Amino acid sequence: MIPTHIPIPLPGGLHGPLPKFVRVEQALSLETVDNIETIITEEFKKFADIDLKGKSIAIGVGSRGIKQQLQVVQAVIAELKAVGAEPFIIPTMGSHGGGSVKGQIGVLTSYGFTEEKMGVPIRASMDVIELDQLANGTPVYCDKMASEADYIIVCGRIKPHTDFRGPHESGLAKMLAIGLAKHTGATALHFNGFDNFKEMVPEAARKFLGKANILFGIAMVENSLENLRHLELVAPKDFMERDSELLKLAKISIPQLMINEIDVLVVDEIGKNISGGGMDPNVTNRTGTDMKGFDLGPKIGRIFVRDLTPVTEGNATGIGNADVTTQKVLAQMDWTKTYVNIVTAGVLDGGKMPLIANTDRDAVGIAIRGCPGVASQKARIVRISNTLEMTHIWVSETLIDEVNANPKLTVIGEPFEAEFGEDGALMGDI
């Protein structure tokens, strides 16, 4: 058992002097759609020639924390009801939510998806049917209740994946291949390893499109503030082309750190609602795999994770990509949810435990000690809320020349000292 307090008696201790900090605003992608309901109404006209009266429609909703997804799904439900369809919602989240019906319903509820709010039934099962097989014999599965509906709608945020690179990463194709395949299908596909996802995800999606009755996909691309930059309803015949094209848009829309070299990155929170990898390797350049393509951001010496998001419900997937965390994080972890997610994906490094500090103050000291040749008062330190919300960040004064030289970075306010409470917790909002 990991002790609840770990003394680290070092000469000089862990609390060396830190540089002052400044608050910095990053000029990130802010383009947004104007009116969700209007867009859905116009997009729905693409399917006006399909008679949906009395038809059962399974709407698949995933486990990602997409800020405006509830409003989007509500708008789609309104259009379906207006033409006499009978929609219902199902979880499409592979192994997430602990790979259980109760857990997946809980994830939907945490995002506000309840029968009362949505006005339609929410039905969940981990039962699947086999639709087809890939060329290597891997089965392609579909949620059983979805397969029994007259039509399926899949809802997905399109963005770069956290563990592999390819023409189809996180998006509509993956929601078919893994999300709608439930725990059984996610396990089957992940068994082949992320090295093969570049080919297998689109292959599985095409098999799915050929055998399941897909009505359309809801494609969402977010800007750097998690607001929708693009929204469209995609017909099955256009799934693969639009999924790939919108990925290009997503890659220039995601938040990024605009600092070139960082000794210590302090991350206030990680969680499944932030990224499939807990903290997005598209920001940190750290992934649980050895896949190439995650080296476009800053060079980071050490990462300290301070907390888990409440919505992640203890799922600490991605904690293994940190170097230091605290007893506070350890106490919140749901080991079963974390391990189910990690083992299903087969990316075991994402679940390894970093060094566990007693307090935030100790953790910062440990992280700096992990940067050879860096004195504490000279350390280049950046603090972010999480890897989604990075419009405002803390930057140590040791990086001020780089900040001032970048027209997309603006210092807000005067320099200040980092303060820690009596319990050693880092104080102050970003």
Report, as an integer, the average pLDDT of 245-256: 90
Report, as an integer, the average pLDDT of 117-125: 96
**Residue 430 near residue 385 (C-beta atoms within 8 A):** yes
**Residue 341 near residue 316 (C-beta atoms within 8 A):** no
CB atoms inside a 10 Å sphere around CB 264: 28
| Amino acid letter, 299 | K
The domains of the chain, with CATH numbers, are 21-28+255-416 (no CATH), 36-251 (3.40.50.11440)
pLDDT surpasses 90 at 275: no
In this predicted model, which residue has the larger pLDDT, 294 or 229? 229
What pLDDT shows up at residue 43?
98
**Residue 289 near residue 164 (C-beta atoms within 8 A):** yes
What pLDDT shows up at residue 242?
97
Distances (CA, A) of 331 to 272, 356, 408: 17, 11, 38
pTM of the model: 0.74
Give residue-wise pLDDT tens across range 333-355.
Answer: 999 999 988 988 888 888 899 99
Which residues, at least 6 apart from 170, have a Cβ–Cβ distance to it below 8 Å?
Answer: 156, 157, 158, 159, 160, 161, 162, 276
Q: Residue 294: which pLDDT band, with cuts at 50, 70 and 90? A: low
What pLDDT shows up at residue 63?
75
Which residues, at least 6 apart from 297, have a Cβ–Cβ distance to it below 8 Å?
Answer: 256, 257, 282, 283, 284, 285
Which bin fits 340, alpha (ψ -120 to 50), beta or left (φ > 0)?
Answer: alpha
Give residue-wise pLDDT tens across range 1-30.
Answer: 788 999 999 998 999 999 999 999 999 878
Give residue-wise pLDDT tens across range 47-101.
Answer: 999 999 999 999 999 877 788 999 999 999 999 999 999 999 999 988 777 789 9
Give residue-wise pLDDT tens across range 386-417.
Answer: 998 899 999 999 999 999 999 999 999 999 99
**Residue 399 near residue 379 (C-beta atoms within 8 A):** no
pLDDT averaged over the chain?
A: 93
* Cα 251–Cα 91–Cα 201 angle in degrees, nearest 5: 45
C-alpha 419/C-alpha 430 separation (Å) is 13
Give residue-wise pLDDT tens across range 126-180.
Answer: 999 999 999 999 999 999 999 999 999 999 999 888 778 889 988 999 999 999 9
For the chain, state the CA radius of gyration: 22
Task: Report the sign of the C-alpha dihedral through residues 384, 387, 390, 396, in that order.
Answer: positive
